[in-house]
Amino acid sequence: MAETTNRILINLLPHREMKRERRKKDFVGLMVLAGIVTCGIAGAIAMGINQQISTQADRNTFIKQANDKLDAQIKEIATLRQEIDGLKARQQAVENLQSDRTTPVHLLDELVKHTPEGVYMKQVRQDDRKLTLVGLAQSNERIADLLSRLSNQTVWLEKPDLIESKLVWLGTPNARDSKQVYEFAMTTMVKRPNAPDPKKAAQPAASAKAGSVGGSAAPTVAATTPPSTPSKTQ
């Protein structure tokens, strides 16, 4: 019994090398596992980044398409504005033509009403809003009276301006039937009232009628034609 108790057991197997190999295997396994986990995490991150890039690309495509639509709408709106401006210009031209169609009638009526007695119109020429009057008058006072009437009493005329006034002969100078008169030229501007007030337009006619009733002649254009073409004073 004593011999059995005092026996020393010796393990002759290479247990240290085995532990070392086991540790190496565990380390390699951990490294492989860490590599796999790292690759998985990197793959997940890469997939997330790719997904975000794809989402942003879709957003960019949507924004680009929306911008293209807006550009097309803006071009269409600009075209529509040009068409609207063209239609407005045509409408204004038509309105001007319609309003100008009756202008000569009103101008002749104004001249008949406000031309003093003793004044004879030889030429009436209109260039847009500018009206040129050429005629004969018995005296400069008649011309001044015409200027005053065209300046203050007319609805369709304004800003009269005398260009010239000169003394001429009707007929042969120094002959018995010859007569000295004043040849004048003046300009005045044509108004374009949207709707002429009939009361204002009727006032000159009423005053002319009152003048004829009171005994004075109503202002009209002289109807007598000069016997010959006026010539300049020698």
pLDDT digits over 14-47, tens only? 777 888 888 888 888 899 999 999 999 998 999 9
Within-domain flag for 32? yes
Pair 36, 77 in one domain = yes
Pair 130, 87 in one domain = no
Pair 137, 224 in one domain = yes
Place of tokens 């532990």: 19
Report how many domains make up the chain. 2
Q: Please, which pLDDT band fits residue 118 given cuts at 50, 70 and 90?
A: confident
pLDDT value at 89 more than 80: yes
As a whole number of angstroms, the distance between CA 21 and CA 162 comes to 128
Domain boundary among 43, 77, 101: 101
Amino acid at 207: S
pLDDT of residue 136: 86
**What residues does 164 pair with on adjacent strands?**
185
Pair 132, 212 in one domain = yes
Within-domain flag for 5? no
Pair 34, 122 in one domain = no
Domain boundary among 101, 128, 148: 101
Within-domain flag for 24? yes
| CA Rg value for the chain | 55
As a whole number of angstroms, the distance between CA 188 and CA 178 comes to 31
Within-domain flag for 48? yes
Q: Where are the beta strands (DSSP E) in the chain?
A: 119-127, 130-137, 157-170, 179-190, 231-232
pLDDT of residue 218: 35
Task: Identify which of 168, 150, 170 has the alpha carbon closest to the alpha carbon of residue 159.
Answer: 150
pLDDT of residue 1: 46
Within-domain flag for 22? yes
* DSSP 3-state of 124: strand
- Pairwise pLDDT comparison (105 vs 207), residue with the higher score: 105
pLDDT value at 225 more than 90: no
Pair 120, 57 in one domain = no
Pair 215, 134 in one domain = yes
Task: Identify which of 131, 226, 224 has the alpha carbon closest to the alpha carbon of residue 186.
Answer: 131
- Residue 130 belongs to domain spanning: 103-192+208-232
Please give the average per-residue pLDDT across 4-8, as a whole number: 62
* DSSP 3-state of 82: helix
Pair 217, 135 in one domain = yes
Domain boundary among 52, 72, 101: 101
Query: Do 209 and 218 touch, CB atoms closer than 8 A?
Result: yes
Query: Do 185 and 121 touch, CB atoms closer than 8 A?
Result: no
pLDDT of residue 197: 46
pLDDT of residue 226: 43
pLDDT in tens, 119-164: 888 888 888 788 888 888 888 888 888 888 888 877 778 888 888 8
pLDDT value at 220 more than 70: no
pLDDT in tens, 155-210: 778 888 888 888 887 766 666 667 888 888 888 888 765 544 444 544 544 444 43
